[in-house]
Structure 1
């Protein structure tokens, strides 16, 4: 068995606060990782730590980029145990997208439509939980109860049947990983 890691976060940015206000969810963002040292997370979000736009497919770690500027961000880390084949399919799909990342955009309209349970898909446009859900569905790691474009971070918590490995602050998670 291999492990896919799902990181849920809620930063104190204006956008995150707005999403939390609109949804009342504990977490407002989700990322996916494939290595136990959590050296690289993938998601859709801001490309620059201090500005919400431009946004798109991003690679980040616990010790650089946006997460490093927001060490007090609440987070939860889940593991999803999958077969080697499923793991490879998910990882390869993300890597394929990363090689073409300039073609991918953040789906602001999709995010708004998700709040109102209106499916909205546009080729190469994603928001964070839609991206993670689609990767997990395409690789057959999970069967989604609704379209990926309607999945919120709270849904990801319910869908991932694995253990919650950590809850706390991003800075604490980074410190615990670095001591492994």
Structure 2
């Protein structure tokens, strides 16, 4: 068996606050990765973490995200798949990355999600709808809903995942320094 990784993300901001209120959960953004360290990770979101209005398909740069959102929290989940599924997903991600400026954030689809009505405008996705469609096309069904209606909450509630990390993005970017972030336990000598 092979593995792919889904990162559920909590970042600050007004748009994130509104999504959190609607979903009633902490994690409001979804990232797909080929590895648990998020070295090869992709999502639909801000093209530049510092500019909220320009969004589309991008390869994640965790150092840049950390600079923009130093308090961001991540939950990284592992999902089993076949080696063939993982390779097909990787090829699609690489192809979509080459054509990333043909993909856009599905702003018009957001009201349809609120109403529970499927809506798809060619090459327009939310972070969760893109990943739901990609996985579904490769035999991994995260939700029974139409892909355009899938939200980060569906990934959060997906039973066939295993949480492998939950904590600050700082711990992922600088794992060697993470021991400094935790208060050491007292050592007693007898």
- TM-score normalised by the chain length of structure 2: 0.86
Does residue 2 of structure 1 match 2:40?
no
- Show the counterpart of 1:119: 118
Deviations for 1:39-60, whole angstroms, at most 9, x for unmatched residues? 1321111112222121100111
Preserved CA contact (<8 Å) 1:40 1:61: no
1:16-55 residue pairs with structure 2 within 5 A?
16-55=16-55
Following the alignment from structure 2 to structure 1, what is the Cα–Cα distance between the partners of residues 138 and 158? 15
Shift of the alpha carbon at 1:27?
Answer: 1.0
- Show the counterpart of 1:58: 58
- Show the counterpart of 2:187: none
Q: Matched residue of 1:63: which SS?
A: helix
Label 1:177 to 1:118 Cα distance change in 2 as closer, same or farther (>3 A): farther
Q: Matched residue of 1:71: which SS?
A: coil
Label 1:37 to 1:11 Cα distance change in 2 as closer, same or farther (>3 A): closer
Q: Matched residue of 1:15: which SS?
A: helix
1:88-99 residue pairs with structure 2 within 5 A?
88-99=87-98
Preserved CA contact (<8 Å) 1:56 1:106: yes
Preserved CA contact (<8 Å) 1:62 1:171: no
Label 1:126 to 1:63 Cα distance change in 2 as closer, same or farther (>3 A): same
Q: Matched residue of 2:155: which SS?
A: helix
In the alignment of these two chains, the number of paired residues is: 178
Which 4+ residue blocks in structure 1 deviate beyond 4 angstroms? none
Q: Any stretches of 5+ residues in structure 2 without a counterpart?
A: 179-190
Shift of the alpha carbon at 1:112?
Answer: 2.9
Following the alignment from structure 2 to structure 1, what is the Cα–Cα distance between the partners of residues 35 and 95? 17
Label 1:147 to 1:53 Cα distance change in 2 as closer, same or farther (>3 A): same
Following the alignment from structure 1 to structure 2, what is the Cα–Cα distance between the partners of residues 68 and 80? 28
- TM-score normalised by the chain length of structure 1: 0.90
- Which has the greater radius of gyration? 2
Q: Which range is displaced more, 9-18 or 168-177?
A: 168-177
